[in-house]
Each structure stands twice: as C-alpha cells, then as structure tokens.
Structure 1
C-alpha cells in the first residue's frame, strides 16, 4: 500500500539565485494556486501572492516572470526528524 504524503514542499528557484520553500497540504492545493496565480500571469512582471501558511503574520509576493524553476517534493512526516 503506497504511503500518502503529509504535505508537499514546493521549492521556487527565482532569478538572481534566490530560493524559497513553501508548503501545501495537498498537491491539488498547489495545482490550484499554480494554475490560477502563476500560469495565468506567467509573463507578467506584476506581483502575485505566494501562500505561506506555516509562518504566522508573514507573506511573500513574487513576479511570475522571475520564477525559473519549481520542484514539488512530497514530505512524509514520521519518527525521523527533518531539518
């Protein structure tokens, strides 16, 4: 029986060498944000909001045209500590 990920870590590689990690509860949640926010405005240089749910009171905005790569990593929580 395949294991179900507890969350998904999404790594954004941004122009200039910056890297950011954001987390989503489900892959469908990521796909909804990706298709509605990033793909819809992929050539735009205006800011779009990036959901940061694990940090209270903090937010991030990014220009969709400056995102060079996205990596989606399933995260399995368990008895092993992740850093």
Structure 2
C-alpha cells in the first residue's frame, strides 16, 4: 500500500542563486497556485504572492520571471524516531 505524504515542501530556486522553501498541505493546493498564479505570469516582473499557510503573520512575494526551477519534495511524518543523539 503506497504511503501518502503529510505535506509537500516546494523549493523555489531563483535566478539570483537564492533558494526559498514553501510548504503546501497537499499537491492539489500547489498545482492550483502554480497554474493560476505562477504560470500565467511567468514572464512578468510584477510581484505575486507566494502562500505561506504554515507561517502566521509572514508573507513572501516573488517575481515570476526570476524563478529558475522548482523542486517538489513529498514529506512523510513518521512515528519512528530517527535521531541518533543521546
């Protein structure tokens, strides 16, 4: 039985060399934001909002034309303790 990710970490790589991470609770929320906000304005130098649903009181704006790459990473929370520190 395949596991379902608990959330998705979206890594935005900007053409300036900066990297930002945004988390979405499901892949459909990311796809909706990507197809309705980022892609239609991909050549624009106007700022668009990047949703930061996991961080209250903070926001981020980005110029769509400056996004060089996007990496989507599924995050699986587990009840297994993987820390090896004592």
Per the alignment, residue 75 of structure 1 pairs with 75
> Aligned-pair distance for 1:81?
5.9
Change (3 A) 1:31 1:81: farther
- Normalising to structure 1: TM-score of the pair? 0.94
Larger Rg: 2
The two structures, once aligned, show a CA RMSD in angstroms of 1.4
Per the alignment, residue 46 of structure 2 pairs with 46
The structure carrying a bigger helix percent of its residues is 1
4+ aligned runs moved over 2 Å, structure 1: 79-82
Unaligned runs of at least 5 residues, structure 1:
none
Q: What SS does the aligned partner of 1:36 have? A: helix
- Normalising to structure 2: TM-score of the pair? 0.90
> Aligned-pair distance for 1:55?
1.3
User: Aligned equivalents of 2:27 and 2:56: distance in 1?
Assistant: 22
User: Aligned equivalents of 1:81 and 1:59: distance in 2?
Assistant: 32
Unaligned runs of at least 5 residues, structure 2:
none
